[in-house]
Structure 1
Amino acid sequence: MKTGVIGIGNMGRILTEALLEEKAISPSSLTIMNRTKKKALELKNIYSDISVVDTAKDLSICSDLIFLCLKPLDIYWVIQEISPHLTKDKCIVSITSPISVNQLESIVPCSVVRAIPSITNRAKAGVSLLTFGSNCSVKWKTTMERLFRKISVPIEIEDNVTRVASDIVSCGPAFFSYLTQRFILAAVRKTDIDQETAVTLASEMLIGLGELLKKGHFTLPTLQEKVCVKGGITGEGIKVLEEELGDVFEHVFAATHLKFKEEVQKISKQYPI
């Protein structure tokens, strides 16, 4: 299987490197293309057998599976360029949430998949979100599940939960990184601990928390119960969180969904459905 990746930005590179490192795809079977060629060549310097081409058209000619790791409004125009070479037996994969598989299927003759990765996939962890077009072949469904199982836990989702699922899986690492940084800075400001030590302690705590959940020792509620002894210090901290967090996460989801709706409205003008 010949694979192509159009767009070697942050997520495009993360996805490509994860698939290569886990041997889900081989460098010799991979062709990449980026508007700024330097980024593609940087990856080729690491994996010398990768092919780098100058245009999306060239990539589409030699690839069976094509990942579109682009900004939402750019995908339509790239598809216009490559559509003459998208035969029925090929498959395109968009990694952006605002474009539905139905919209993509309306302008291409091949199988369509939306695959929303997470930065956690770089560590062969976390979830990837898959949505298959109604005309996607069994072959490509099986192939995509196999590829993403190498680097994540692939979960198939419907369109109506695309945004919230993306918030949790794809945006979540940024949200909780921000919260952890605020947690660390507060510790440094309010106590005698230095930042380097606080970062180490917090990072290792998060890794340990993940392992506890992964191995099934505790659920989130039971873990809190085990640590939060009645009348103890942890309980006092939880009281503050309960009082001051309020509806902050409801506001987060409201903001992301509003932005998502704006992007969907812009994109809808490009597609016939």
Structure 2
Amino acid sequence: MRIGVLGTGNIGSMLARVFVQVPECEVTVYNRSPAKAYALQADVPRLAVAGTAREVLAQSDIVFLCTKAQDGLALMADAGKHLRPDQDVVTTISTVSIAAWEALTPARIAIAIPSIVQEVRKGVILVAHGTRMAEADQERIERLLAVAGVPFVIEESQIRVCSDLTSCGPAFIGHLLQVWARQAASFGRISAAEAEFLLNKTLIGLAAMLESGATLRDIITRVAVPAGVTEAGICAMTPLARSMFAALHDATWRRVQAQEDTCGPKAGETADNLSDAGG
């Protein structure tokens, strides 16, 4: 399987590193800044580096488009019509609709939303398949993504809220733990660093329990005994948590709406004038 990765930012580099470990995959990357592509190749020698984006498009069975929205749209507007109906384009750009991509190319389209935790082969990769994807095509894409994480198929309309939970989730959880550690430090005789250490180790243990088959409800029930301190804490945090997460999802939705209103090909951009951004 010949895989092309356009854009070697955080997401593109991570996917290239994962796919190159599959023996039957040949991976070629392209970046507008050649030095960045060759730096990735120096770290991962099995990678090939293309001189142009068109070269990647022409030779790949599956192309992963991991650029900024404006750059990806410029590329497809310029070169998308030259792709074949038997090629797959999997884009990590969630602010452009599948219909918009399909209007620019005869290739099959899917949207995939990875997460940083795929660096350790964990977590979920969201997948929304386009209208041209037959069942066999969908299965091929999902088998490939399964090398990095757990593919989870969603409808396109679910991308935003699910991305908050998976792709944005590690940052949201990390931020909450940092805030909690600082508040604990201000409340008791412990430093913020010590509090963060305790929370980190607790989170690792919790993840191991969940991986072994425990559910969140199981864990809450086992810890929060009636009339105990854990129950008191849960009662105190529940209304605040509901309000906080409602505000979170509203804020991310509004930001995406603003991005959708402003993204689009810039005048003069071509398929080989791509950003190296990832995600």
C-alpha distance 147-181 of structure 1, shift in aligned 2 (>3 A): same
1:47-86 mapped onto 2 (5 Å cutoff): 47-86=44-83
| Greater length-normalized contact order (CA 8 Å, ≥ 6 residues apart) | 2
C-alpha distance 183-101 of structure 1, shift in aligned 2 (>3 A): same
Are residues 1:38 and 2:35 paired? yes
Are residues 1:210 and 2:201 paired? no
| Counterpart Cα distance in 1 of 2:206 and 2:251 | 28
Structure 2 residue aligned with 1:227, among 223, 226, 229? Answer: 223
- Note if contact 2:16-2:27 (Cα within 8 Å) is conserved in structure 1: no
| Stretch deviating more after TM superposition (63-72 or 225-234) | 225-234
Structure 1 residue aligned with 2:149, among 152, 155, 165? Answer: 152
SS in 1 for 2:35: helix
| Counterpart Cα distance in 2 of 1:237 and 1:49 | 52
1:122-141 mapped onto 2 (5 Å cutoff): 122-141=119-138
Deviations, residues 200-259 of structure 1 (Å, cap 9, x unaligned): 322221121122222222x22331121112232323332332354451110111111111
| Counterpart Cα distance in 2 of 1:250 and 1:269 | 33
| Counterpart Cα distance in 2 of 1:187 and 1:211 | 24
Moved beyond 6 Å, runs of 4+:
none
| Counterpart Cα distance in 1 of 2:178 and 2:243 | 20
C-alpha distance 243-224 of structure 1, shift in aligned 2 (>3 A): same
SS in 2 for 1:170: coil
Are residues 1:114 and 2:143 paired? no
Partner of 1:266: 262
| Counterpart Cα distance in 1 of 2:134 and 2:228 | 57
| Counterpart Cα distance in 2 of 1:18 and 1:151 | 6
Q: CA deviation at 1:137?
A: 3.9
Partner of 1:20: 20
Q: CA deviation at 1:85?
A: 3.7
| Counterpart Cα distance in 2 of 1:174 and 1:64 | 33
| Counterpart Cα distance in 1 of 2:98 and 2:63 | 14
- Structure 2: unaligned runs, 5 residues or longer: 267-279
- Note if contact 1:68-1:75 (Cα within 8 Å) is conserved in structure 2: yes
Partner of 2:5: 5
Q: How many pairs were matched up?
A: 266
With normalisation by structure 2, the TM-score equals 0.87
Q: CA deviation at 1:165?
A: 1.0
Structure 1 residue aligned with 2:180, among 180, 183, 194? Answer: 183
CA RMSD of aligned residues (A): 2.2
| Counterpart Cα distance in 1 of 2:142 and 2:251 | 31
| Counterpart Cα distance in 2 of 1:116 and 1:139 | 20
Q: CA deviation at 1:263?
A: 2.2
C-alpha distance 20-184 of structure 1, shift in aligned 2 (>3 A): farther
Partner of 2:270: none
Identity %: 30
Q: CA deviation at 1:163?
A: 0.8
Q: CA deviation at 1:70?
A: 0.9
| Counterpart Cα distance in 2 of 1:145 and 1:252 | 29
